[in-house]
């Protein structure tokens, strides 16, 4: 999907209504978190709404904008106000895959990821990598699509839609990756479209049409869209988890701590 996301950089903002809404809900959840991070990262930053929110909340923190599509990072750079650039407060761009980040162990205090991790066939390696780069007591906050996403299209007969993990399975992945006491919840957000082509155009502008909808023949899509009620529901899985003290050393030996 890298090429799809790269091509979508110019059109992303006009169709990113869902991502912005989910980002606002993620930000509201940070209101109750007591944290003063020194280093923050937006993983899968797209055009930069998330990293700008983190900069607003934590102006003293070093901001890192991470995406595997270079044109998205260029879009982030183009949206930085001149005054911010002159003061050296621009987000640091990093072109990288979340499963193999070129960052030191424990180098981040807060990781934010909005509607990105569900595009991975298996999110567990990404969770393990995010655990690696977070400092102990660092926070991961993220959102993903859940299994009831686009349930209306499934009911109408769409067979190639991408399948997404249940939030309980995501919570189990977080524990397996070394996070402590993950907190999971979900929202449903629905959009009503006047025309099916508008829905398809939105997904293309976001760079996710093929990844989300699959590659059914147009003849089959015409049949599905004819029976669709033109509502598109998205199940949004929210999660946050703290990095715990490791229990096992890199060489596999158990770590035992003695309290005085």
pLDDT single digits (tens) 92-127? 999 999 999 999 999 999 999 999 999 999 999 999
Q: Do 134 and 140 contact (CB within 8 A), yes or no? A: yes
What percent of the chain is modeled with pLDDT above 90? 78
pTM of the model: 0.90
Q: What average pLDDT does range 183-210 have in this prediction?
A: 93
CA–CA separation, 147 and 61 (whole Å) = 35
Using left for φ > 0, alpha for ψ between -120 and 50, and beta otherwise, residue 187 falls in beta
For range 232-242, the mean pLDDT: 97
Burial pattern 87-121, b for ≥16 Cβ within 10 A else e, equals eeebbebbebebbebebeeebbbbbbbbbbbbbbe
Domains of the chain: 2-147+164-188+235-243 (3.40.50.150)
Q: What phi and psi, each to the nearest 5 degrees, are found at residue 168?
A: -70, -40
Q: Provide, rounded to the nearest whole percent, the portion of the chain with pLDDT above 70.
A: 92
pLDDT score recorded for residue 64: 98
Residue 78, CA distances (Å) to 72, 199, 223 in order = 10, 28, 42
Please tell me the distance from the alpha carbon of residue 93 to that of residue 96, in angstroms, as a whole number.
9
pLDDT digit string, tens, across residues 139-191 = 999 999 999 999 999 999 999 999 999 999 999 999 999 999 899 999 999 99
What pLDDT is stored for residue 195 in this prediction? 93
Query: What span, in angstroms and rounded, lies between the C-alpha atoms of 52 and 42?
Result: 9
Q: Residues 184, 171: contact at Cβ < 8 Å?
A: yes
């Amino acid at each position: 999907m890298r090429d799809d996301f790269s091509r979508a950089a110019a059109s992303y903002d006009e169709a990113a209504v869902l991502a912005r809404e989910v980002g606002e809900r993620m930000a509201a959840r940070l209101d109750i978190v007591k944290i003063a991070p020194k280093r923050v990262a937006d993983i899968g930053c797209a055009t930069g709404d998330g990293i700008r929110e983190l900069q607003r909340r934590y102006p003293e923190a070093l901001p890192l904008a991470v995406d595997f599509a270079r044109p998205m990072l260029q879009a982030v750079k183009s949206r930085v106000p001149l005054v911010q650039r002159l003061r050296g407060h621009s987000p640091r761009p990093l072109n990288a895959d979340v499963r193999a980040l070129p960052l030191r162990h424990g180098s981040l205090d807060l990781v934010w990821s909005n509607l990105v991790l569900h595009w991975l066939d298996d999110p567990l390696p990404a969770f393990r990598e995010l655990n690696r780069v977070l400092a102990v007591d660092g926070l991961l906050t993220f959102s993903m699509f859940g299994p009831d996403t686009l349930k209306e299209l499934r009911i109408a007969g769409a067979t190639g839609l991408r399948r997404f993990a249940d939030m309980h399975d995501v919570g189990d992945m977080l524990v397996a990756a070394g996070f402590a006491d993950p907190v999971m919840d979900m929202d449903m957000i629905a959009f009503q479209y006047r025309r099916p082509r508008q829905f398809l155009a939105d997904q293309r502008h976001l760079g996710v049409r093929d990844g989300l909808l699959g590659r059914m023949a147009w003849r089959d899509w015409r049949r599905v869209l004819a029976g669709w009620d033109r509502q598109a529901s998205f199940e949004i899985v929210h999660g946050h988890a703290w990095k715990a003290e490791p229990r096992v050393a890199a060489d596999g030996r158990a770590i035992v701590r003695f309290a005085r």
